[in-house]
Every structure is written in C-alpha cells, then in structure tokens.
Amino acid sequence: MTTTLEEPSDHVRIRRNWAKAAAAGELVGQIFYARLFEFAPAARSMFPDVIDDQARKLLQTLNWIIDHLDDPDSLAPAAEALAVRHLRYGVEAEHYPLVGEALIATLQQGLGANFSEEDKAAWLRVYAALSDIMTRAAYPSD
Ligand code: HEM
C-alpha cells in the first residue's frame, strides 16, 4: 500500500470531482451518512440522532483535506490528530474502509457518469494513503 499523498494526477481528478460534488452542498453529507449506515448499520449509534451538524463538519474537513493534498507537511499531522480524536468516539481501524466505501458510493451517486473508473481508482489510492496515515497514528500496535 502506498503511504504517499503526492500523486498529482490523482489530486487533479479528486479536485475536479469534489468541485462538482460539493456544489450540491449539505446534500453530499446527508448522502454520505445514509450510505455509511447502509454499509455499517452498527455505526449509526456512534453518531448523534440528528446528523446535520456532523455532515457539515465532515464536509468542511473534506474540503480542507482536498485543499491540502499537495501539502503533506500540513495534511499528515492534521490527519493524525483527527484520527487520534476519533479514538474518543469509539472508532476502530476496521471502520476506515467502510468510510472509504461510503465516500466512493456518495461520489458515484452524486456524479453519475461524470465519475469514471479512473476517478474511482484515484479516490481509492488517496483514501488508502490517508487512512493509512490515520490508522498508523491512532492504532500504532495494529
Ligand atoms: C477520512 C476519514 C474521516 C474524516 C475526514 C472524519 C471527519 C470527522 C470530523 C470532522 C468529525 C468532527 C469532530 C472532530 O473533528 O473531531 C468527526 C467525528 C466523528 N467521526 Fe469521523 N471522520 C473520518 C473517519 C471516521 C471513521 C472511520 C468513523 C467510524 C465510523 C468515524 C466516526 C465518527 C464519529 C462517531 C464522530 C463523532 C460524532 C459525534 O459524537 O458528534 N469517522 N469525523
């Protein structure tokens, strides 16, 4: 698995996809959590009953992450701190692939034919690298 976030052509695709998806605003966050709870029903009880605030926070953070893909010196420590905070929420390393699946499913649903196989591969690579950084920081002994 790659541990670098420096793959410029992936970042270009991701920014292009995200600019289109994020234009739908908070709906993106709502779709994301609907898909996540479909894939991982047990995760529903980890979140507040009303998901709106959480959806907003997730979108803000994804915006920040996507803005900083080319700046690993800022991105890596922020991602590590985010992952360590997630320990408090009861999040385990096994949850990360489910969040990745929900994110891809959200993009597929939101972008339709505008989300190509190459786009999907770029997101999978970058999400794998990001979740690798996050889980190494939060679960060092795994
Ligand atoms: C790239 C991966 C992820 C991102 C960008 C992300 C983003 C966020 C953000 C911004 C918050 C708000 C609180 C904070 O900043 O500490 C949050 C809270 C939370 N996240 Fe994540 N998260 C990620 C992965 C996960 C995973 C894998 C799970 C597992 C199901 C998860 C479950 C939660 C829970 C339960 C909360 C607290 C909800 C609450 O009680 O208000 N997150 N996440």
Asked if residue 3 is part of any domain, the answer here is no
CA of 86 to the centre of ligand 1 (A): 6
Amino acid, res. 1: M
- The ligand 1 atom nearest the CA atom of 92: 29
The residues lining ligand 1, judged by C-beta closer than 6 Å to any ligand atom, are 43, 46-48, 54, 57-58, 61-62, 82, 85-86, 89, 91, 95-96, 99, 130
Q: Which domain holds residue 110?
A: 8-138
Residue 2 located in a structural domain: no
- Return per-residue pLDDT of the chain as tens, 142 residues: 444 555 679 999 999 999 999 988 889 999 999 999 999 999 999 999 999 999 999 999 999 999 999 999 999 999 999 999 999 999 999 999 999 999 999 999 999 999 999 999 999 999 999 999 999 999 998 7
Asked, for residue 129, whether it belongs to a domain, the answer is yes
- Contact (CB, 8 A) for 127 and 65: no
Measure CA of the first residue to CA of the last residue in the chain; give whole Å: 15
Q: How far is the CA of 111 from the centre of ligand 1 (A)?
A: 23
Whether 74 maps to a domain, the answer reads: yes
Residue 81 lies in a domain: yes
Task: Look up the CATH number of the domain holding residue 92.
Answer: 1.10.490.10
Q: Give residue 90's region: left, alpha or beta (phi > 0; psi -120 to 50).
A: left
Helices (H) and strands (E) in the chain, counts: 6, 0
What are the structure tokens assigned to 89, written together?
Answer: 């929420």
Closest to 68 measured CA to CA, from 54, 47, 82:
82
Q: Given CA atoms 55, 61, 62, 67 in this order, what sign does their dihedral have?
A: positive
Q: How many domains does the chain have?
A: 1
For 77, the enclosing helix (H) or strand (E) is: helix 72-88
pTM (two decimals): 0.93
Cα 33 to middle of ligand 1, angstroms = 11
In a domain? residue 121 = yes
Residue nearest to ligand 1 atom 17, measured at CA: 58
Atom of ligand 1 nearest to the CA of 91: 29
Distance 13 CA to ligand 1 centre (A): 24
Q: Give which of 65, 55, 74 is closest to 18, Cα–Cα.
A: 65
Cα 29 to ligand 1 centroid, rounded to whole Å? 12
